[in-house]
Amino acid sequence: MSVAATHTRPTLAVWKFASCDGCQLSLLDCEEELLALAEAVHIAHFTEMTRTSVSGPYDVSLVEGSITTPEDAERIKEIRANSRRLVAIGACATAGGIQGLRNFAASGDYAGTVYAHPQYLSTLDTSTPISEHVTVDFELHGCPIDKGQLLEVLLASLAGRRPVITGHSLCQECKSRDTVCLLVTGEGACLGPVTRAGCGALCPSVGRACFGCFGPSDTANTASLAARLANDGATELQISRLFRTFNANAPAFLAESRAHESTEVAVHFSASRIVRRP
């Protein structure tokens, strides 16, 4: 590959913060399109794929993970300064992720349980999305993200157009593929009506109610759905926990889990200490 060729293609960088790497691996999951994509863009930094790293600036940066340490809070600013477009990918980068559950606990609670010498840790009290630290050009939701949507964001970026990615409810994907509603047939406590579409209604299509891993939809009326779930027999604890998973800190879900937070929930959290292995 000539140097000239690499400079005519847009450069893509992939960055990791507090996360499991599942979202950035979605890029490698684009198996059929991967070679063509690698022709269309110059993958300049992607440590899950290659140790070779080309210095910036970058045309597009995909950022996975949440900000949980003082170092990361600085590092994201450098990446922003080095990126023409910055796309936050996944529930961690857009809402703080599952590790955002720390935001509900007292500082150091979990660290003291897991680590023998937590005094060597230097972490922030909270897990926060990228948008709380720098300007984000586009947020791609999901835990993990959908590879089709990732490709769409990259294709839109290459063509200079708006990505065709909606913020409407998951229900529309169920209906489009003739999946029968699990809530109405009594098959499950489904978060679909308040959850952002994008996964293609993966879980409901195999009979599993939606976990809400794509976070709240644009128009999420969580209070009304919670009332329906309570009517079906869900307890306050169950409702609170339903909204407090991968996107626990997304504003609509956060407000709803707080509205159903009882002393029972608080007891549950302080009791869920992880047993340290010898």
Binding of another protein by 40 (CB under 8 A): yes
Binding of another protein by 8 (CB under 8 A): no
CB atoms within 10 A of CB 116: 8
- Subset of 217-256 contacting another protein (CB under 8 A): 217-219, 221, 223-225, 227-228
Binding residues for another protein, rule CB under 8 A, total 44
Among 159, 271, 274, 275, binds another protein (CB under 8 A): 159
User: Which CB atom, from 172 or from 235, has the smaller least distance to another protein?
Assistant: 172
Distance from C-alpha of 138 to C-alpha of 40, rounded to nearest angstrom: 20
User: Which CB atom, from 96 or from 216, has the smaller least distance to another protein?
Assistant: 216
Sequence letter at residue 209: A
Among 57, 207, 251, 272, binds another protein (CB under 8 A): 207
Binding of another protein by 19 (CB under 8 A): no
User: Which CB atom, from 108 or from 188, has the smaller least distance to another protein?
Assistant: 188
Binding of another protein by 33 (CB under 8 A): yes
Binding of another protein by 167 (CB under 8 A): yes
User: Which CB atom, from 36 or from 274, has the smaller least distance to another protein?
Assistant: 36
**Distance, CA of 130 to chain centre:** 11
HEC sequence for 83-124: EEEEEEEHHHHHHCCHHHHHHHCCCCHHHHHHCCCHHHCCCC
Among 169, 245, 249, 257, binds another protein (CB under 8 A): 169
- 156 Cβ partners below 8 Å, 6+ apart? 162, 163, 164
Distances (CA, A) of 174 to 130, 249, 278: 30, 26, 47
Binding of another protein by 198 (CB under 8 A): no
- 163 Cβ partners below 8 Å, 6+ apart? 138, 149, 152, 153, 155, 156, 157
Binding of another protein by 47 (CB under 8 A): no
Closest distance of CB 195 from another protein, Å: 9
With CA atoms as reference, report the closest residue to 97 among 141, 126, 66. 66
Binding of another protein by 189 (CB under 8 A): no
Outline where DSSP puts E strands in the chain: 11-16, 42-45, 58-64, 83-89, 138-140
In the complex, the residues that contact another protein under the rule CB under 8 A are 33, 36-37, 39-40, 152, 155-156, 158-159, 161, 164, 166-169, 171-172, 175-181, 183-187, 190, 192-194, 207, 217-219, 221, 223-225, 227-228
